[in-house]
Amino acid sequence: MTQSPPSPVSDATPSREAVAPSGSGPSPHLPQASAQGVSGALPARDKLVITLLLISAFVVILNETIMGVAIPRLVEDLGITVGAGQWLSTAFMLTMAVVIPVTGFLLQRYNTRPVFMAAMGLFSLGTLIAALAPGFGVLLVGRVVQASGTAIMMPLLMTTVMTLVPPASRGKIMGNISIVISVAPALGPTISGAILSVLDWRWMFWLVLPISLAALAVGSAKMKNVTTPRRSAIDVPSVILSAVAFGGIIYGLSQLGEASAGSAVPAWIPLVAGLAGLALFITRQLVLQRRDAALLDLRVFNSANFTISIVAIAVSMMALFGTIILIPIYVQTVLGMDPLVSGLLLLPGGLAMGLLGPVVGRVYDRRGPRILLVPGAFLVSAVFWSLTQLTETTPTGMVLVAHVALSVGLALMFTPLLTSALGSVKPALYSHGSAVFGTAQQLAGAAGTALFISVMTIRSTSLADSGVDAEAALAGGIRAAFMYGAIIFLLAIVASFFVRAPKETENSPALVH
């Protein structure tokens, strides 16, 4: 499957790998931000590229969680079961998990512009298919095509930022990326709830389609190539093993979380298959990376700072996705609110996270990660322990305050963790580091959802069997789920003390210790 790489177009700019000869000074062919070191502002061209990618990534990531609130409506309109409806979210995650590991290869093999066009083109096509879907089967196909484009977008955004932005300014830009990875999923239920309160479910796609097409059109005209592709071949066995490994684990975790609704396939079967595939995938990558031919280069884990940051990111993502799924269940089923109210309840926290992203990034650029990570981790932990006290009579206002505080804590963590992780790998491995992050994010999101739902179900069933009424039993299950989350999050607190600014940032005169 080896092809000749496309010739860089006239505006292509070599990546940081094209280092100037020793003593020759910055090469004029390097990205300007790289040549300027830690001082000058980004050139207008680079700002435009990053802005386009940020907007596009926000739109595509938003769709990852937009279907949850819509499932009851789809069950009624399409005549499907709740279990079938869940596949609209599960299939999205599965596709993301399978495609993301391949993006490391894509970003090295092809230029920025064609990769962007492919990502937004796939997402727009999937959105159109979903909007026109006459039934469940076509809608599911649309979601899979959407996810294919979504999976490419985030690694493309992060790799481009790491290539263009000098170390001393990365925190500010990564703060904007944290809006995408944390706020977009949180706003999905709110937006879908608002749409469904007045419109048909197809409008969730019709309203997004013009935005995605506009991004595709502007990107077609304005997107510039900021890296130089290099000749490389894709390892087909690695692609197959990746699909088995990450697809099996995601599917197994999703089935584990939905076990109470009944499943045709026991969750342990895909989990075992996925873990076996993961072991084989890792073994093959370790062999292939000796000659720089790995699909997903695992040498990014040679950096202890990257490894610790990824672990903390994974735990934080489990907390975020677990909370996103539990709070609407609690508010609707235990407190008796409607779906729109439960969606709006998550809105202030999402807005707080978005507003804090750039601010946190600027603080990171000046002071480093620890001053943000430690208080952020303790704040999230405190919120989780407080949520273990929820009952069927807890005021809605207390839930709102808890979610806002949780969002503030996670906002203090995401930007430092993401910037420290990717800044700790060699420039030649930026695309692989971005792909590892994306894969970890998907696995953690699925694990968080599965863990919280499974614990809630097991505990609430046990309480109901002992004679506790339904609402109190469910509240007890939710308390137990947050208890498990609080215990697991202790790992993120420990990790927060060990994350440090990458060496290239530590040596920057802009960083004040």
Q: Are 75 and 204 in contact (CB under 8 A)?
A: no
pLDDT at 482 (0 to 100): 92
Q: Tell me the mean pLDDT in the region 326-355.
A: 81
Confidence band, pLDDT 50/70/90 cuts, at residue 357? confident
Residue type for position 101? P
- If we measure between CA atoms, which residue out of 9, 16, 254 comes closest to residue 110? 9
Q: Residue 260 pLDDT more than 60?
A: no
What CA–CA distance (Å, rounded) separates 30 from 41? 15
CA 466 to chain centre: 39
Most confident among 159-163, 219-223, 333-337, 461-465 (mean pLDDT): 461-465
Q: Tell me the mean pLDDT in the region 311-337.
A: 84
pLDDT at 511 (0 to 100): 40
Burial class (CB in 10 A: 0-12, 13-18, 19+), 265: exposed
Confidence band, pLDDT 50/70/90 cuts, at residue 47? confident
- Assigned token pair, 257: 């979380």
Residue found under tokens 């932005």: 165
Q: Tell me the mean pLDDT in the region 189-198.
A: 80
What CA–CA distance (Å, rounded) separates 308 from 500? 10
pLDDT at 82 (0 to 100): 64
The fold for domain 41-506 equals Growth Hormone; Chain: A; (1.20.1250)
pLDDT at 263 (0 to 100): 56
Q: Residue 395 pLDDT more than 60?
A: yes
Q: Tell me the mean pLDDT in the region 357-385.
A: 91
Q: Are 431 and 158 in contact (CB under 8 A)?
A: no
Count of C-beta atoms within a 10 Å radius of residue 116:
27
Residue found under tokens 């303790």: 378
Enumerate the H helices of 424-465 as residue ranges.
Answer: 430-465
pLDDT at 494 (0 to 100): 94
Q: Tell me the mean pLDDT in the region 52-76.
A: 80
Q: Are 354 and 180 in contact (CB under 8 A)?
A: no
Q: Which residue has the higher pLDDT, 97 or 200?
A: 200
Q: How many residues does the chain have?
A: 513
pLDDT at 18 (0 to 100): 37
pLDDT at 27 (0 to 100): 34
pLDDT at 483 (0 to 100): 93
Domain extents in the chain: 41-506
pLDDT at 400 (0 to 100): 92
Percent of the chain whose pLDDT exceeds 70: 86
